[in-house]
Amino acid sequence: MTPQDLVLTPTGVRFLDRRFPCSIGRGGLTRDKHEGDGATPVGAHRITGVMYRPDRLAPPNGRAVPIRPLDRWCDDVAAPAYNHLVRAPFTASSETLRRADPLYDVVLTTDYNWPDARPGRGSAIFLHIWRRPHFPTEGCVAFARSNLLWIAARITPATRLIVAGR
């Protein structure tokens, strides 16, 4: 582990010698992730990208790409695009990235089960804005908006999300 890693601890995520409160999946932590279990997967997950809502905020870093109106994330285990960014219209099951609420105003994507997704092992393990303090996610790690923007501005290509099993 390095200071550039986001390390999940019982009291939040440690990053660059700071600690940030966060939310994890409603299913807790797991070493055996399955689609729909609501759990946050244990492991070291590289941060693979940053997406943001250009109609709501400026790019949080130089690598950030805008979330476009038709962007979606495929969560259909039978689809060839499972656990990948897709665009509407898309017939398989997928999650809208350009949401009405602010949860995905900024999103850090991870390499959990990506790019070579194994069907049923879980999709879309993101770092995103929380609904409210400590409200559980569907498996992602969520933060206060200001904290996630601070983190997004400072990540590097080497940054990982480290989730240790308890």
Instruction: Write out pLDDT tens, residues 88-133.
Output: 999 999 999 999 999 999 999 999 999 999 998 999 899 999 999 9
**Thinking of the domain 6-163, which architecture would CATH place it in?**
Beta Barrel (2.40)
pLDDT at 86 over 90: yes
CB atoms within 10 A of CB 153: 14
SS3 label, residue 43: strand
* Cα 71 from chain centre: 15
* Cα 15 from chain centre: 16
Domain ranges of the chain: 6-163
- Prior bond of 41 cis (ω within 30°): no
**Torsions phi, psi for 120 (to 5 deg):** 85, -5
Which residue did the predictor score with more confidence, 166 or 48? Answer: 48
